[in-house]
Amino acid sequence: MAAQTWVEHTLYVRTALLQTLSTLQDAETGQRGFLLTGDETFLEPFRNAERTIGERWATLERNVSDNEMQKQRLDRLRSVAAERLGSLRKRIQERQVAPDAPLTDGLKIGKRLMNEARSVIAEMLAEEERLLTTRNAEMRWTVTLTQIGVAGALLSAALLGWATLKDRQRQVAELQTANVALRIALKQAAEESEQRERVESQLRQAQKMQAVGQLTGGLAHDFNNMLAVIVGCLNLLKRKMARGEIDKDSLIDKAMECVDRAAALTHRLLAFSRQQPLAPQTVDANKLVGGMAEMIRRTLGESINVETVLASGVWRIHVDPNQLESAILNLAVNARDAMNDEGKVTIETSNAYIDDNYAREHAEVKEGQYVLVAVSDSGTGMPPEIIAKAFEPFFTTKGPGKGTGLGLSQVFGFVKQSGGHIKIYSEIGQGTTVKIYLPRFVGEGEVAGPRREPSAAGMAFRGSPQTLILVVEDEDRMRSVAVAMVQDLGYSVLAAASAVEALALINANPDIDLLFTDIVMPDMNGRALAEEALRRRPDLKIVFTTGFSRNAVIHNGVLDRGVNFLPKPFSIEQLAQKVSAVLGVMETT
């Protein structure tokens, strides 16, 4: 083997030994992270070590096959590493079987094995260092001999030529050594990059767990408060009824208010997680903002001056108009609160373009044409540290009872789910502007009209007993309540606990007018049931319901076209409006 090749060979063995030690340390770190947290994502370094350690041994075995002492040391190292990985694996399996068992990691044994592994690796590195010194000397001697031979051959021609050739030979040798060092350095840099990525991945996971903990804590707090009110009202109502007292409306209203708040909370959480069901339509932002301006003025109160600045020629967008209205209203209410109920709120629309430089500097932002909807206030402004946390769920600067901390996170989730971008600009003492960028829509589609205000006649609505509705729900209590609600609206009702039972009822009752079905059911889901029912009864009306955000009629957060959907939980008024709309009948009292 040429001297230069021997140098490269020695450097390669040194790198492989250091990588082997790093692999064992990563495995140990991953196991400890899993033992401390119970989170199996920390096991990735351990599993990677098990996958790659065999390849490490094969590489080292090939490269030390010419050195008997190094082969013996490698056998020792392989034995120690196998014992250490075995002890790590055993403790992981014990933790998986009994998560609450005390942590007895066998630290003394583990430390002894790792120290022994480091000692063997140190011996092998020392041997390779000795070999490197020897082989470098051999390479220099080889170069020198070459120089002497060439010089002798050319000495008769010219001393100057000999000197030039000697210098060239030296440059070649230096270049060869530099190339070897560069290759080794690049390999080490790649290994270090992989290690950094592993550490960053673990850090991101830890941050994610912290965010989940914050979210869970806020959610539990809000739900416990609402459940406490509901339970208290029901207990008091039960006692009043036992005593024959009739003044129970206020208790019912308080309980219903908490139910509505709980439902709104779940919708906001779905919005933040980008899983709320959207029904996008072609929207003219100017018409939408102009149409809701009066409602915003009524909501904010007379002390707030509301101004709309609508640019001409604003492009169309493809979003859920109800959710966009909700987002604008959320921002307007936040703006009012930032001004202590006195000041000016400005809502603007315009066309905008996000360039490539801006897109690269902001996550999940694409270059292109957008419609901008901005909400500004003349309040006190926000410092940078508050802006950085503004979109976090349950983060609020408002006092107790004045906000859930979910308003901005809901807006953020809706904008991201719609493929847009949201940015806060604020200066202390000057006010705040929240800018929503929604992608320009260039397809065909009728522009959505103004939203119809919900009817207040749900409690007094009476359907026709000649209309027969089939309710399909696998959960017994939910099915019982849904049947009672449909009956109370005046319709005739059949009920089924499964899709198979529902199809049998459809075959036996050709006069069924509407199928009201849950989506998430065992064996056959609601979508499959509806398709089979329509195959048998093409004129059958269908209404779907579910509390699960990812289901057979919602894909990528968007409700399938032409689907009639009523999300759980729903009130009797919402049920009345949906059923009457699908049946094509007018509400009557």
Give the pLDDT confidence of 295-312 residue by residue, as tens digits: 888 888 888 898 999 999
Q: 429 lies in a domain?
A: yes
Residues 6+ apart with CB under 8 A from 92: 31, 34, 35, 43, 46
Residue 262 lies in a domain: no
pTM across the whole model: 0.45
Question: Which residue, among 365, 511, 380, has the nearest Cα to 439 in the 3D structure?
Answer: 365
Same domain assignment for residues 495 and 577:
yes
Instruction: Decide if 491 is inside a domain.
Output: yes
Residues 389 and 501 in one domain: no
414 and 474 belong to one structural domain: no
Per-residue model confidence (pLDDT) at position 451? 53
How many domains are contained in the chain?
Answer: 3
Query: Distance between CA 12 and CA 576 in Å, rounded?
Result: 76
Asked if residue 34 and residue 129 are part of one domain, the reply reads yes
* 152 and 55 both lie in a single domain: yes
Q: Is the pLDDT of residue 275 over 60?
A: no
Q: Does residue 434 share a domain with residue 463?
A: no
Same domain, 428 and 296: yes
* 222 in any annotated domain: no
Task: Tell me the per-residue pLDDT of 206-219, one tens digit each, with 9 for 90 and over.
Answer: 555 555 555 556 55
| Same domain (yes/no): 425, 572 | no
Residue 329: give the domain boundaries. Answer: 281-439
Asked if residue 135 and residue 105 are part of one domain, the reply reads yes
Confidence of residue 538 (pLDDT cuts 50, 70, 90): very high
Q: The domain that contains 523 carries what CATH number? A: 3.40.50.2300
Check which CATH number belongs to the domain holding 299 and give it. 3.30.565.10
Distance, CA of 407 to CA of 267 (rounded, Å)? 11
Of the three residues 102, 130, 157, the one that is the final residue of a domain is 157
Question: Is 391 part of any domain?
Answer: yes
pLDDT category of residue 96 using cuts at 50, 70 and 90 = confident
Residue 370 shares a structural domain with residue 496:
no
Max CA-CA distance within the chain? 130
For residue 198, tell me if it sits in a domain.
no
All residues at 6 or more sequence positions from 88 whose CB lies less than 8 Å from its CB, including other chains: 27, 28, 31, 46, 110
Task: Answer yes or no: is 42 within a domain.
Answer: yes
Please check whether residues 63 and 100 belong to one and the same domain. Answer: yes
Q: List the one residue out of 64, 34, 36, 32 whose CA is nearest residue 20.
A: 64
**Residue where one domain finishes, among candidates 126, 157, 188:** 157
Q: Is the pLDDT of residue 164 over 80?
A: no
Token duo for residue 263: 């439902």
pLDDT in tens, 26-81: 878 877 777 777 777 777 888 888 888 888 788 888 888 878 888 888 888 888 88
Does 303 fall in a domain? yes
Same domain, 297 and 419: yes
Domain end call among 378, 408, 439? 439
